[in-house]
Amino acid sequence: MSYNVQPLRTQQEINDFLFCLRRNKNADRDVFLFLIGINSGLRMSDIVKLKKQDLISSKNPRIVEKKTGKTRILYLSSLQDLILEYTKDLAPEDYLFPSTKGGHVEVNTVYQMFQKVAKLLGRDDIGTHTLRKTFGYHYYKKTKDVATLMEIFGHSSEKITKRYIGINEDEISETLLNFRLGF
């Protein structure tokens, strides 16, 4: 079996995912994690270790990505109300996504949670990268700005970025349907 993680391509798919997460024991945490993920494009390994102070330190906070070691600016101004509400009772050094065992929730725990949601939704293409890919997919569909998305993701080519976010042949074909030059 191949590991074929896909983005959530429609608002309905996002809503269905949220519907399932809202029924979890730690629904507030899990929904907030999901929303941070689909609105930031961060890898799950960077999301799970976020602390309150990481998000409230400035309007556009910076984090150092675990995988690349690069500093990344987070543009989360559209989520400020949600962030303030979620973090209001947390100390600055508290993890945003605490584990019931102490520390922060682990990436594998999130993966297992997402697998339960995937099963409920009848999907076999959901993983922790689904959030990152969902961000990229919708960013690209809205802006068609693959160059900026490449920069956000740290990819070296447009081809890699488009393949990563699942811009497939059907979508490419759709964009070329009425494209004509020289007529």
- Report the C-alpha gap between 83 and 50 in whole angstroms: 12
Q: Is 88 a catalytic residue?
A: no
Instruction: Please tell me which residue in 51, 72, 129, 138 is annotated as part of the active site.
Output: 129
Contacts of residue 93, defined as CB under 8 A and 6 or more positions apart, other chains included, come to 51, 52, 53
Using the structure block, give the residue that is written with the tokens 């556009």: 60
Q: Is 9 a catalytic residue?
A: no
Q: Is 129 a catalytic residue?
A: yes
Q: Is 132 a catalytic residue?
A: yes
CB atoms within 10 A of CB 115: 15
List Cα–Cα distances, 93 to 75, 122, 168, in angstroms.
Answer: 21, 38, 42
Instruction: Please tell me which residue in 51, 72, 138, 155 is annotated as part of the active site.
Output: 155
Instruction: Please tell me which residue in 3, 25, 67, 88 is annotated as part of the active site.
Output: 67
- Report the C-alpha gap between 128 and 146 in whole angstroms: 22
Instruction: Please tell me which residue in 43, 52, 133, 162 is annotated as part of the active site.
Output: 43
**Residue 146: which H helix or E strand, with range?**
helix 146-153
Instruction: Please tell me which residue in 49, 52, 132, 138 is annotated as part of the active site.
Output: 132
Q: Is 137 a catalytic residue?
A: no
Angle, helix 129-143 to helix 158-165, in steps of 10 degrees = 110
**What tokens appear for 16 in the block?**
């269905």
Q: Is 43 a catalytic residue?
A: yes
Q: Just list the catalytic residues.
A: 43, 67, 129, 132, 155, 164
